[in-house]
Chains A and B, each alone.
Chain A
Amino acid sequence: MPHCTPEQLALAALREPLPDTDAAHLAGCDRCRAEVASLQRGVDALAVPELAAPQGSVAPPPAVWAAIAGATGVSVVPRPELVAGGTAPARPAPLPAPAPPPPGPRSPSGGSVVRPNFSRLLLATAAALVVGIGVGAAAVALGTADGDEGLQVAAAALAPLDDRGATGEATVVERDDGSRVLELQLDAADVPDGYYEVWLLDEAVSRLVPVGVVQGGDEASLALPTGIDIGEYPVVDVSVEPLDGDPSHSGDSVARGVLES
Chain B
Amino acid sequence: MTELLERDGRRVRVADVIPDDGPPPGSPWPDDAEIGRRFAAGDEQALAWAYERFAGQVHGMAVRAFGPGPDAEDVTQQVFVSAWTGRAGFRPHQAPLPAWLVGICRHKIADTWARRDRQRRATEAALAEAQAATGPAAPTVDSTVADRVLLLGELEQIGQPQRGIIELAFFEDLTHAQIADRTGLPLGTVKSHIRRTLERLRMRLEVDGAALHA
Residue A210 is within 8 A (CB to CB) of chain B in the complex = yes
Please state if B56 and A88 are interface contacts (CB–CB under 8 Å): yes
CB neighbours (8 Å) of A229 from chain B are: 4-5, 8
Please state if B12 and A78 are interface contacts (CB–CB under 8 Å): no
As a 0/1 sequence over residues 64 to 87 of chain B, the CB contacts with chain A under 8 angstroms (1 = contact) are 111111010100110011001100
A95-B67, A251-B24 as given contacts; A42 in contact with B57, CB under 8 Å: no
Residue in B4, B60, B102, B106 whose CB lies within 8 Å of A58: B60
Please state if A11 and B191 are interface contacts (CB–CB under 8 Å): yes
CB neighbours (8 Å) of B49 from chain A are: 78
A86 to B32 alpha-carbon distance, docked (Å): 19
CB neighbours (8 Å) of A101 from chain B are: 113, 116-117, 142, 144-145
Interface on chain B toward A: helix, strand, loop, or mixed SS?
helix
Please state if A104 and B67 are interface contacts (CB–CB under 8 Å): no
A45-B144, A116-B173 as given contacts; A64 in contact with B73, CB under 8 Å: yes
Please state if A134 and B205 are interface contacts (CB–CB under 8 Å): no
CB distance from B38 to the nearest CB of A (A): 11
CB distance from A196 to the nearest CB of B (A): 14
Residue B104 is within 8 A (CB to CB) of chain A in the complex = no
Please state if A63 and B102 are interface contacts (CB–CB under 8 Å): no
Please state if A253 and B26 are interface contacts (CB–CB under 8 Å): yes
CB neighbours (8 Å) of A60 from chain B are: 55-56, 59, 73, 76
A39 to B204 alpha-carbon distance, docked (Å): 11
Residue in B14, B51, B65, B69 whose CB lies within 8 Å of A68: B51
Please state if B64 and A134 are interface contacts (CB–CB under 8 Å): no
Please state if B152 and A61 are interface contacts (CB–CB under 8 Å): no
Q: Which of A23-31, A121-129, A182-190 contacts B (4 or more CB under 8 A)?
A: A121-129
Chain A: how many interface residues by the 8 Å CB criterion? 98
CB neighbours (8 Å) of A207 from chain B are: 9, 14, 16
Residue A133 is within 8 A (CB to CB) of chain B in the complex = yes
Residue in A55, A78, A256 whose CB lies within 8 Å of B29: A256
Residue in A10, A99, A115 whose CB lies within 8 Å of B195: A10
CB distance from A98 to the nearest CB of B (A): 3
As a 0/1 sequence over residues 1 to 32 of chain B, the CB contacts with chain A under 8 angstroms (1 = contact) are 00011011101111111100001101111111
CB neighbours (8 Å) of B175 from chain A are: 16, 115
Residue in A64, A95, A249, A252 whose CB lies within 8 Å of B76: A64
Number of A-B contacts (CB under 8 A): 272
Please state if B14 and A208 are interface contacts (CB–CB under 8 Å): yes
Residue A21 is within 8 A (CB to CB) of chain B in the complex = no
Please state if B67 and A93 are interface contacts (CB–CB under 8 Å): no
CB neighbours (8 Å) of B24 from chain A are: 251
Residue in A13, A74, A225 whose CB lies within 8 Å of B12: A225
A9 to B191 alpha-carbon distance, docked (Å): 10
Please state if A98 and B66 are interface contacts (CB–CB under 8 Å): yes
Please state if B60 and A57 are interface contacts (CB–CB under 8 Å): yes
Residue B98 is within 8 A (CB to CB) of chain A in the complex = yes
CB neighbours (8 Å) of A248 from chain B are: 15, 17
A41 to B209 alpha-carbon distance, docked (Å): 11
6 A-B pairs closest in CB distance = A85-B56, A84-B56, A98-B67, A57-B56, A42-B201, A45-B147
Residues of chain B at the chain A interface (Cβ within 8 Å): 4-5, 7-9, 11-18, 23-24, 26-32, 44-45, 47-49, 51-61, 63-69, 71, 73, 76-77, 80-81, 84-85, 98, 102, 106, 109-110, 113, 116-117, 142-145, 147-148, 151-152, 155, 169-176, 191-192, 194-195, 198-199, 201-202, 204-205
Given contacts A83-B52, A201-B17, A209-B14, 4 further A-B pairs with CB under 8 A are A11-B191, A14-B194, A42-B202, A53-B171
Q: Name 22 A/B residue pairs within 8 A (Cβ), A-sorted.
A: A13-B198, A43-B198, A50-B61, A63-B73, A64-B59, A68-B81, A72-B85, A101-B113, A101-B116, A126-B174, A133-B57, A205-B23, A206-B17, A207-B14, A226-B11, A228-B8, A228-B12, A229-B8, A249-B17, A251-B17, A251-B24, A251-B26
